[in-house]
Structure 1
Amino acid sequence: MEIIIYIYNGMTMLDAIGPYEILRHIEGANIKFVSKQKGEIMADSHFVHLNSKYGIDEISKADILLIPGSTIAFLREMKDDKVLNWIIKINKSTQKTVTVCTGSIILAATGLLKGKKTTSHWKSINLLAEFGAIPTRDRVIEEGKYITAAGVSAGIDMAIYLVDKMKGEKAAKAAQLLIEYDPKPMYNSGNYLTANKEIIKMSEKLLERDAKKDLSLWDLLINTRRLLKLKNNECN
Structure 2
Amino acid sequence: MKTIAFVLYPGLTPLDLVGPLQVLSALPIADPSFETAVVAASLDPVTSDTPVRLAADRTFDEVPAPYAVVVPGGLTGTMRSLADQRLVDYVRSAAATAEVTASVCTGSLILGAAGLLKDREATTHWSFLETLREFGALPVRRRWVADGAVLTAAGVAAGIDMALHLAARFAGEDVARVLQFAIEYDPEPPFGGLDWSAAPRELFHGLGRSALAEGLADEPALRARLTARL
- Give the alignment's TM-score, normalised by structure 1: 0.85
Aligned partner of 1:196 in structure 2 is 198
Identity %: 31
User: How many residues were matched structurally?
Assistant: 225
Which residue identity does 1:77 align to in structure 2? S
Cα RMSD, aligned residues only:
2.7
Aligned with 1:141: secondary structure? Answer: strand
CA distance 1:23–1:230, change in 2 (3 Å): closer
Aligned partner of 2:46 in structure 1 is 41
CA distance 1:225–1:57, change in 2 (3 Å): closer
Alignment of 1:1-236 (within 5 A): 1-27=2-28, 28=32, 29-45=34-50, 47-188=51-192, 190=194, 194-197=196-199, 199-203=200-204, 207=207, 216-217=214-215, 219=217, 226-228=224-226
Deviation, structure 1 residue 30: 1.6
For 1:93 and 1:34, the matched residues in 2 are separated by 16
Which residue identity does 2:35 align to in structure 1? N
For 1:42 and 1:148, the matched residues in 2 are separated by 24
Aligned with 1:39: secondary structure? Answer: coil
For 1:230 and 1:3, the matched residues in 2 are separated by 35
Unaligned runs of 5+ in 1: none
- Deviation per CA, 1:85-133: give whole Å up to 9, x if none: 2112111221111110011110111111100000001111211111101
- Give the alignment's TM-score, normalised by structure 2: 0.87
Deviation, structure 1 residue 16: 0.4
CA distance 1:123–1:219, change in 2 (3 Å): farther
Deviation, structure 1 residue 78: 1.7
Runs of 4+ in 1 over 6 A off after TM superposition: 220-223
Unaligned runs of 5+ in 2: none
Q: Does the 8 Å contact 1:117/1:141 carry over to 2?
A: yes
- Deviation per CA, 1:139-192: give whole Å up to 9, x if none: 11000111100000000000001111111110110111100000112224536x
For 2:188 and 2:117, the matched residues in 1 are separated by 33
22-31 vs 151-160, which moves further: 22-31
Q: Does the 8 Å contact 2:127/2:204 carry over to 1?
A: no
For 2:229 and 2:146, the matched residues in 1 are separated by 28
